[in-house]
Structure 1
Amino acid sequence: MNVDDSAHAVVHDYPGGSESLAPRLGMSPAVLNSKVNPNTSTHKLGLVEAVRISALTEDDRILRAFAQQCGCIVLRAPDANDAAASDMAVLELVAAVGGSQGDLFGSIHRGLADGVLTEAEFALIRTAGTAAMEKVAALLRRLDGMVER
């Protein structure tokens, strides 16, 4: 999904849509609708506004679309409270990393099983791959919190 389509979806998927979100952004629903309408050229969503929308909605689709268009990926940052963890919590996270890799390889297997990889199949692979990388990042954060400095 491209950035324009993502912005439109984020605003309109928000509970109450632009009618609820626009006042929180300090603008009218009509202006917000124009800014996120991919077919409107008179109003454009600015970067600062996109960041505010993402933060208010707690929806990272605009960021992910932006990163994808630039050839990058977005990994959710591990919770800072997860840095100090017990041995059992680390073991659970190691198992989650393994499970996420199984999900990734399973989605690759299913996507390639018929010899044709579709856009939809690749989207599932990308989602599983990103989830796996997020689990690895969380594990690294926890292990870093255990390092005796």
Structure 2
Amino acid sequence: MEPLPNALKQRMDESKEGVIFFSLGSIVNTQTISEEFKNNLLQVFASLKQTVIWKMDARTKNVPKNVIPVKWAPQQSILAHPNTVLFITHGGLLSINEAIHFGVPVLGTPLFGDQFMNIGKLVQKGMAKSVRLSSDLQLHLKNAIVEMVSNSSYRLRAQELSEIYH
């Protein structure tokens, strides 16, 4: 597993309320996402107590203080960090396997293909919720994040599944 860059590790270590990792994988290029949509996501993230690491391919203006945009993210190292409380992911199989391995709850944002099934299975197992990336995303995303970080059952179930996985 690749070590975290020092600056990122320090921010994660200092995140008293926890860290949320947001990545849409390598297939979705965030340069193709509209500025309005990015701004809506940033508004949601700005309203949170947690630090949010967002894997994005392009620079974005007006990034809130609690958001760390990264062009490249050592995903396993981020998920392995003890302060990581939630993984917002598109639901690719590798990301799902890594979330289970490290016992991190998942908020799924499936986009196509097997991602819907992958996230659906985690929802059935009690370690995930799913939201659609749609025009009313702000409300649904914020509510889902708040529920998942405040309800320990998601974390406990993720840790149980991690133990089974090993």
Q: Counting helix residues as a fraction of each chain, which structure ranks higher?
A: 1
Class of the TM-score when normalised by the shorter of the 2 chains: under 0.3
TM-score in terms of structure 2 length:
0.24
**Larger of the two Rg values belongs to structure:** 1
Q: How does the TM-score come out when normalised to structure 1?
A: 0.26
